[in-house]
Structure formats: structure tokens, C-alpha cells
A and B are shown apart, each in its own frame.
Chain A
Amino acid sequence: MGVKHYFKLWIIFLSCNLQSKISHKLDFILGILATIFMQGCSFIFLWSIFSQIDVLSGWSFYEISILFGYISIANGLEEIFLNGTWELPGIYIRRGELDRLLTRPVNPLFLILANCMELHGVGSFLFGIVIMIHSFVQLGASLSFVNILFVFISIISSTVIFFSINLITGTLSFWVTDSMPAMVMVQRLNQLGQYPINIYNKVIKFVLTWVVPFAFVSYFPVDFILNSNMLGLFSPIFACVFFSLAYSFFKLSLKRYESAGG
């Protein structure tokens, strides 16, 4: 099956998802509002702090806003397109729904992702874009075409890194009874990436850079755009490496899958 076929299939899934969302209209609208409010809430915290000081660890308000917007966009994208990993421990493995997917002539990971699109991620995606553009304008940064291209590519890479981390922790469910707590734990760590990593101590910095690479998700790419920190260039490479690691882990674990029966 070629890419074209997959794309067609994906569009069908998208329209199914949309239809089911629209049947619960109010819940859907509230969901979008909620994602905006949640991002807005941390943003107001940031604003309040910067009403007291001018610079946080060498970063100005608008620079950190860009970091904020950047994460919101990547989070939103991940929620919209790649949220299915969250269903892996409970629905697919413990309840054995994975059986159903394995009988189909399509890549199971594709089905897992296409089945579950959390469209309310649109909220944090749009919020991020508004914040980011506004901050760039306020900073008076003149972005060249190459820069914009880099922002584009690195946001995609960040989304992929988010996803790969979730895929790894989700796939752990093949090996232990329930890896959901581990997933939540690791995912929560991404809050650490909302601020310049220099405010943390050495241990946390090391973990964020090399163990759970949330620094590559947000801090390094934005640091590259603003201060040309060359580590930011590694973000796309990191994304590729991380994704192939996560995917081979998933493939390997799939061989181990014993259905829950029923």
C-alpha cells in the first residue's frame, strides 16, 4: 500500500472523528476553550512574573513567550494528529482491542493514531501561533525565509519527539501491566521545558538534555532562533533518531503481544 492510499484512509478517519465530535458539539467547544484557557493560565503566570522583573536567566518576556508559543503549537499538533499513543495501555493492550487492528492489512500504528484524534488540540495550536507571531512582532525580529523554514521544520521535529517519548512509555505496556502512570509522569516533565533550562540545577539539566530530551523539544530550537545556539540544529536529527528508536521498540514489542483474549 502506498502513501496515497494511506492518505485517503486518513482523510476518512478524520471525517469520522469530526462527525463524532460534532455530535457532542458543546463538549467539543468546551474542550477547545479548555485547551486555550489552560495555556492562557500558564501564560498569565509568566506575565505576572515579568511584571516584577525584566529578564529571567537572560531571557526577556517576549523571548520566553516565543518558547511558550512554540510548545503550545507542538503540543497542539501532537494532540490532534498523534494522540493515539494514550490509548495504547488501556484500550489496546489491557482490553485487547489491538487484536482487531492486527487483522487489518494496514500498519497498526497508523490505525492507532488515526482512530484517536483529539481535535480540541486546535485550541492550543492556535493559541501558540498567536502568541508566537505577536512576540516576534514585538521583538522586532526580522525573520528570513530560511529562519521561518527552520521554525517550521523544528516544530514538526518537536512534535515527533513528543510523540516518540509517548510511544516508548506507552509501548512499555506490552511488558508491564500498566504503563499509564509512567506515561503521565514522563509527559508531565515537559512542563520543565517551558522555561530556559539554565534556571535548573545540573541534574535536571542533564536529564532534560540527554535522558528525556524535552530540552530538544523546545529550549534548544528556540535558543537557536533567538541566540543561534547551535545545539538547536540537532533537533530534527534527534527527532529522526528518537522516532526510529521508538518505532523499532514498538515493532519488537508487538511480536511479544499476547492478546487479552475475549
Chain B
Amino acid sequence: MYKSFKATMLKYKALTSCKIQETMTFRFGFFTSFIASLVQTFVMLYVWNEVFSQKQTIMGFDKSQMLTYLVVSQCLNAIYGWYNATERNISARIKSGDIVLDLVKPINFNFARFYEGIGMTIIQIIFSGCVLLLFIVFNPSVATPTSFMHFIAFLLSAFFGYVCMFSISLITGLLSFVISGYWGLYYLKKAIIDLLSGALIPIGLLPLVLQRFADYLPFKNIIYTPTMIYMGRISINEIVKQMSIQVIWAFILWQLCKYFYRIMIRRVTINGG
């Protein structure tokens, strides 16, 4: 039993290391796309600077807290960037017909995509981590995690958030089996997640209608919850509660992936031979 588990893990690990190598081969494109995603952060940094020159606090955030929120949430957002969007990967393989190679392999399709994603995510984490570190060092407003305990909780929570995010991305990817294209779906998903996950702005600042939406949807588990834990804005009890919610959502979304896979696989058309 243990042996077979080990063998399975080895297969998936190979996918991860393949992806890391692939990313490193195309590092220049990867690197610039990462830097480009920082432009938005800078714009918002200047906007907040201007806003806080008029006001001391907004919704209980002072300037330093708001900038910390901005940088941490944007770094988290960058981890799930354009380059490791699973739907992009799947859609490209559907278009070229290579998807058949994924389907005949004796490995779980969804798991395989997850481990592939992890490969690129590792590199994204390193980049994002460096950016966060640079901000902490050079911008005195951006704070470190509240305590070591909070930092550990943040990492854990960010991981659960990652699973949620990945599952949503995978569902989008599976949908492209039917839609024949991912562009619209990808950006639609991105816009909704940017807004309702709190990646752009703390959820408390959104219009009330959207706040209600955010409460009932899984998106705020992806960025808002980990960022709030990083900043130490929620109590220990609340951290436990929020993390349980994250785990539940991660589980639900992963089950949805399985369900979608079963439906979509019946409708797949393979191009070429």
C-alpha cells in the first residue's frame, strides 16, 4: 500500500519538476509578465497615498495598514498569475489535440493538473516573496506579519486559498472543453475574483450588494482571509473558524472539479491525430 502510494507520488512529482524546468526555460517572458503585473500595485499605491493625505483612517485601516493590505494581497494575487492559469494550459492542449496524451496516461487528470500548477506556483512564490520582502525593507509603511504564529497561520491559510483558486481555475479549464476558447472565460473569472476576493480592495469597502455576494461565495477565502490573518486583524478563534470555512470550500470546489471532469470528458473532441 505504502509502496504504491510512493510510486504514485513519484509520478506527480515528475510533473511538478517538469513544469519548473519549463518555466525556467522561458524565464524571461515569465519574469516580465510578473513585473508587468506589479504596475497595477504601483498605481494603487499612489492612489492610496493621495487618499490618505486627506483622511487618517478608512474603515479602520490607517495608511500603513492599507498599504500592507495592498502589497500582501497583490503578492498573493500574483502567485495565481496568468502564467500558471490551468485553463490556459488545458485550452492550448485541446486546441492542439495534445489533450489526448493527458487522457491516456494512467494518472488522475485533475491531480496531474494540480501538481503541474504547483511547479509554476513554487517559482511564483519565490518571486512574490522577494517583492514582499523588498516592500517591507524599502517602504516603512508596509508591515511584517503580526507574530510568528500569525505568519504560520497565514501560510496555511494561503495554501487553502490556493486550493480554492486552483479548483476554480480547473473548473474554468474543464468548461473550455465545451466553449472552445478560454480567453473570455479566463478574464471573466479574473475580473470577478479580483473584485470579490479582496485582491483590489478590502471587502468592507465594496458596495454593499457586492459585500453580500462576497460573503456567500468562495472567492474571499482566496486572498482576503489570508491577508487579514497576516495583518493580525482577526482573533485566534476567528482564525480557526475562517480556516475551517476555507477547508470546507476547498473540499466543495475540489468535488465540483471531479464532477465537471466526469461530465466534460464525455464531450471532448480531439483535434488532429
Complex: A56 Cα to B55 Cα, angstroms: 12
Whether A184 contacts B184 in the complex (CB less than 8 A), given A41-B195, A53-B55, comes out as no
CB distance from B188 to the nearest CB of A (A): 4
Complex: A54 Cα to B29 Cα, angstroms: 41
CB distance from A101 to the nearest CB of B (A): 23
Find chain A residues with CB under 8 A from B58 CB: 52
Complex: A184 Cα to B40 Cα, angstroms: 13
Find chain B residues with CB under 8 A from A139 CB: none
Chain B: interface residue total (CB-CB under 8 A) = 43
Complex: A24 Cα to B188 Cα, angstroms: 17
Find chain B residues with CB under 8 A from A53 CB: 51, 54-55
Do A41 and B50 touch across chains, with their CB atoms under 8 A apart?
A: no
- Summarize B's interface: helix, strand, loop or mixed: helix
Interface flag for B206 (CB, 8 Å) = yes
Do A178 and B29 touch across chains, with their CB atoms under 8 A apart?
A: yes
Chain A: interface residue total (CB-CB under 8 A) = 42
- Summarize A's interface: helix, strand, loop or mixed: helix
Complex: A182 Cα to B29 Cα, angstroms: 9
Find chain A residues with CB under 8 A from B29 CB: 178, 180-181
Complex: A49 Cα to B188 Cα, angstroms: 23
Interface flag for A240 (CB, 8 Å) = no
Find chain A residues with CB under 8 A from B28 CB: 178, 181
Residues of chain B in range 119-143 having any CB-CB distance to chain A below 8 Å: none
Whether A47 contacts B207 in the complex (CB less than 8 A), given A27-B181, A199-B46, comes out as yes
Interface of B toward A, CB cutoff 8 Å: 28-29, 31-33, 35-37, 39-40, 42-44, 46-47, 49-51, 54-55, 58-59, 178-181, 183-188, 190-192, 194-195, 200-201, 205-207, 210
Q: Enumerate the 6 nearest inter-chain pairs by beta-carbon distance, A residue then B residue, closest first.
A: A30-B184, A27-B181, A181-B32, A31-B184, A34-B187, A37-B191
